[in-house]
Structure 1
Amino acid sequence: MLTQEQAQQLAYQWVEAWNSHDLDEILAHYTEDVVLVSPVAAKILDDPLGTVNGKEALRDYFKKGLEVYPDLKFELIDVMWGLFSVVFYYINQKGSKTGEFMEVGSTGKITKVIANYNG
């Protein structure tokens, strides 16, 4: 079970990792069997399902994402938390808003991501 403090700490560490562009730091937040579903993944990977399965595939996707968006930067707007999940709501370097629903396992690492964008 997540507490509000744990959810907020995860969010701040996650944003800090992304803003550092340190792939290992970013991936440290995910389990080996993570699943990510995202319209951006569909575009970057040229896969209409936009689904990434497993940490190694996630590494490849995130690496491509950092190459496609070298000025990538996130600004956290809000963190919403549940018993076993969080939603990170943030603005990216282009000013687009994103909401990412994430399931969090018992280890405190992210097991599933559903990304939603406004533009």
Structure 2
Amino acid sequence: MLTKEFAFNFTNEWINSWNCHDIDKIMIHYDDSIDFTSPFIIQFNNDPNGRISNKNDLKDYFSRALNKFQDLHFELLNTFLSVNSLVIHYKSVNNMIAAEYLEFNDHGKIIQVKAHYLNSF
């Protein structure tokens, strides 16, 4: 079970790694067997499924996003805690409001993400 302390620390580290544009710090949060779903994948990867299923492809996708959005800055709005998952609610690129469902394994690494954006697609 995730704790409030884990949720607080993880969320701050996750936001800060994105705001530093440090791909290695970003990727340390994800398990090798990540299952990542986002409507941005449909646009960036021309993939109608909007899904990435391995860490190497996710790193490539994130790297391209960081290059495209060089002024990227996330602003944390809320963090929601459950048994083995978090929802991070934040202001994303172009001031879009985002909520990401993150599911964790027993080692504290993200194994599944479902990214959601308010009225953006």
Q: Into which bin does the TM-score normalised by the smaller protein fall?
A: over 0.9
Secondary structure of the structure 1 residue equivalent to 2:11: helix
Counterpart of 1:71, as a letter, is D
How far 1:93 sits from its partner (Å)?
3.9
Structure 2 unaligned spans of 5+:
none
**In the alignment, is the contact (CA less than 8 A) between 2:17 and 2:25 conserved in 1?**
yes
TM-score, structure 2 as length reference: 0.95
Whole-Å Cα distance in 2 between the matches of residues 6 and 98 of structure 1? 21
- Fraction of identical pairs, as percent: 34
Q: Distance in 2 between matches of 1:21 and 1:62?
A: 10
Moved over 6 A (4+): none
Judge which range, 86-95 or 25-34, deviates more.
86-95
CA distance in 2, matches of 1:36, 1:92: 17
SS across alignment from 1:106: coil
> Normalising to structure 1: TM-score of the pair?
0.97
CA RMSD of aligned residues (A): 0.8
CA distance in 2 between counterparts of 1:76 and 1:48 reads 29
Gaps of 5+ in 1: none
